[in-house]
Amino acid sequence: MISITTILLAVFIKDSLGYVIGTGVQANPSGCNVCGNTAGQWALWSEWSACTSAYGTPVETRQRTCPSNNCQGGLPSETKPCVLYDPTPAQPQWGAWGAWSSCSASCGGGTMSRNRVCNNGCSSCQCVGASTESQTCNNQACCSYSNWSAWSACSVTCGSGGSVTRTRQCSCGANACVGARIEQQPCQQLAACPCNTCYQPPTPCNTCQTQPVIVTTPAPPSCSTCGSPQPYYDPYGNGKRK
């Protein structure tokens, strides 16, 4: 009598893409142990290879070996589709902020700004946030002059050479504002100063003198038209009025 031994083989169940989705067993179609040897066991799968498109569609591959060279059920290699390039670009990132601009005003409150650039990997990608920021600057009050005061009285009451003056005040101190703090200009034409004495003839009577003139001869009648003090008559020259 011939005895037939049925050998059950482990099999892998795969989908249409070659992915293993389960395991099972099947009887050896020959119905006997080939050459009387027990089927060998597959070694563990290797890691998946890098994605490559050498044969058209990008795929990655993994391998396994059969140490006894008589493994049954399954293949020594598997492949599956892969993505050669990541379709999702890296998120765009802002670059460093640039330097602040100059302030728009030297006092009284101005603004200054700075910018940054979005480093994006595609034309349609945008960074989140503003590309420009601003802040206030030079908020201190501006120095300014008050209105001019009224013109002062003339520095002389008659004749020429006098001047009038006006002033204004700086809000930040005497020397902080730009421009003159004091203005002067000549007085408008004034009346001539009157004579206060007379010279001894033949000096014209309308010439002014600061001190009375002592004459040794009587003054001519025309000299009486000059202002005071009048000259006095000292015929003896001893400083005493006669």
Question: Measuring CA to CA, how many Å separate 167 from each of 164, 185, 196?
Answer: 11, 12, 36
Q: Which residues contact 35 (CB under 8 A, 6 or more apart)?
A: none
143 found inside a domain: no
Residue 134 reports pLDDT greater than 90: yes
Separation CA 50–CA 84 (nearest Å)? 9
Cα three-residue angle 127-132-137, rounded to 5 degrees: 155
| pLDDT band, residue 210 (cuts 50/70/90) | very low
34 found inside a domain: yes
150 found inside a domain: no
**165-203 pLDDT tens trace:** 999 998 887 778 888 899 999 988 777 776 544 444 444
Three-class SS state of 36: helix
What share of the chain in percent tops pLDDT 90? Answer: 21
For the chain, what is the mean pLDDT?
73
> Which range of residues forms the domain containing residue 219?
194-233
pLDDT mean over 28-37: 49
Looking from the CA of 215 toward its CB, the CA atoms found within 13 Å total 16
Q: Which of 81, 100, 124 marks a domain boundary? A: 81
pLDDT score of 13: 59
In this predicted model, which residue has the larger pLDDT, 28 or 131?
Answer: 131
109 found inside a domain: no
* Residue matched to tokens 């700086």: 170
pLDDT score of 114: 96
Q: Which of 32, 62, 81 marks a domain boundary? A: 81
**73-131 pLDDT tens trace:** 888 899 888 877 766 667 788 999 999 999 999 888 999 999 999 887 666 678 888 99
149 found inside a domain: no
Peptide bond connecting 229 to the previous residue in cis, omega within 30 degrees of 0 = yes
| pLDDT band, residue 150 (cuts 50/70/90) | very high
69 found inside a domain: yes
182 found inside a domain: no
Q: How many domains does the chain have?
A: 2
